[in-house]
Amino acid sequence: MNEKREYFTNMRAITTLSEIDTQIERLREKRRLLLAKANERFARAAAKAGLAELEIPDADLDDIFEEIAARYRTGGKGPSGASA
């Protein structure tokens, strides 16, 4: 029994709501930064491929990106290893 008591006195047993809120805010900020980084990555790839200069309707872009996502979700490696 003494071992259990010692374990819990060395470890914080209670986490406050404000600590949880702080952690949630940190995670939200981390998520926001990761999304921004991913957005920049895709924007660079689109610009490099010349997509920014083309007049492609949004619906067509959505379809194209869905096809790409499906290709990689099924384990394809892109054009040379596409399994779709």
pLDDT tens per residue across span 34-50: 999 999 999 999 999 99
Q: Could you state, in order of their start, the residue ranges of all structural domains in the chain?
A: 2-53, 55-84
Which pLDDT score is estimated for 59? 95
Q: Which two tokens stand for residue 78?
A: 């892109």
Long-range own/partner contacts, residues 73-80 (CB < 8 A, 24 or more apart): none
Which pLDDT score is estimated for 34? 98
Those residues of the chain that have pLDDT short of 70 are: 1-14, 76-84
